[in-house]
Amino acid sequence: MAKSKAKKLREKLEREGKINPELKRSPFVFADLRTRTTKTKKDCLYKNKYKNHFSNEGKNGSFYFACRWIYF
């Protein structure tokens, strides 16, 4: 892969004996500071809002029709 201009400049500064700006970076740069929460009951309900809720209860619209033909 090619090196970026910024990386080339940092390496040049390091070769010349100057401080590398990467060393001055805060340790929080690499930390993920986003807060994550678990889903609430309402979130779970809204997730399934437009799905077929009754398919696993057998109320999905299918039926079985048995007809016994009687001949006289």
Could you state, in order of their start, the residue ranges of all structural domains in the chain?
A: 1-32
User: Per mean pLDDT, which range of 34-38, 40-44, 56-60, 61-65 is the poorest?
Assistant: 56-60
Q: What confidence score (pLDDT) does residue 70 get?
A: 66
Q: Please write the tens of the pLDDT for every residue from 6-18.
A: 999 999 999 999 9
User: Please, what is the average pLDDT of the chain?
Assistant: 78
Band (25; pLDDT cuts 50, 70, 90) = confident
Q: 13 near 20, Cβ under 8 Å?
A: yes
- The whole-angstrom separation of Cα 7 and Cα 22 is 10
- The whole-angstrom separation of Cα 47 and Cα 54 is 15
- For residues 56-71, one letter each, b for 16 or more C-beta atoms within 10 angstroms of the residue's C-beta and e for the rest, the string is eeeeeeeeeeeeeeee
**With 70 as the cut, is the pLDDT of residue 58 above it?**
no
